[in-house]
Structure 1
Amino acid sequence: MMHANLMDNYFNLNSVYTEEDFKRHFRIRRHVFERLLHDVQQVNAYFRQKLDRVGHPGFSPHQKVIVALRMMAYDSPTDSIDETYGMFEPICLDILAEFCNIIVQLYKDEYLYEPNQEDLDQILRKAENHRFPSMIGSLDCMHWNGKNCPTE
């Protein structure tokens, strides 16, 4: 039932919500969501729909990825997810952990790297254009190893 509502609201041809609504609700464009959905299903069987112990379909891949994105985008507590998507807290937390692990595995080489000077210069230019000139100093870069970082 929850899967059917999700599909009717966001994914079917005559869906209730538009592309812009999708972006506003999930903080991601639908085509990017569909790429994520495809990629995580290919790599991790957790994101494929399975039958439960009594032979009923379990949570759909769409539901699992949407739940993970909602929790990250809005810092949603699991009880609000339970009310909206019918998933109990332990399931929500498992989904989030699996999703985060698979995203890092899939995209770390492409997107997760220490910025070089060119990257920093580009960020600083954008920040200055938006009247936020010392923005880079407010970033949490503690996980980066630098040769001049204090060790004690």
Structure 2
Amino acid sequence: MLAYSLPADATDEYIKIGESTAIKCMQQFYRAIAEVFAEQYLRSPTSDDVAILLYICEQRSFPGMLGSLDCMHWKWKNCPTAWEGQYAGCSGSPTIILEAVANYDLWIWHAYFGMPGTNNVINVLKTAGLFSKLAQCIAHTAYYKIGGKEYDMGY
């Protein structure tokens, strides 16, 4: 299902298991991934992580930067015909948008996936919630100075 983007009921012919069994297997796989990787990789940065990120980025002439934000369009090969219009972006083919923030060693500490390809980056940023903590002034503190102005939250 993951490798070929197949629905659960399509596995019957290939591996000879029913839809409900395929779904249970996928759920067990997700639980195992979360159990093994959640504590280290599937989490938001802690205060210590933020301090390390800020230090390293400052050494690289990017004071206050916590990571690199990017949005990409992932082509949706098996998009249902009825949905193609709302998922077809500027490329003309259906895409799903992936938003991610990664740091210098490619630790992805934020990911948001699933927005239709017709959305622009501003719509994705509003929906993903990445900046909601900043807007509510409850993000990790990060003191730095750029152009003589002092800031207390990372960007």
User: Could you say which TM-score interval applies, normalised by the shorter chain?
Assistant: 0.3 to 0.5
Of Structure 1 and Structure 2, the greater strand share is in 2
TM-score, length basis structure 1? 0.35
Q: 1 or 2 for the larger relative contact order (CA 8 Å, sep ≥6)?
A: 2
- The two structures have a TM-score, normalised by structure 2, of 0.35
User: Of Structure 1 and Structure 2, which has the larger fraction of its residues in helix?
Assistant: 1
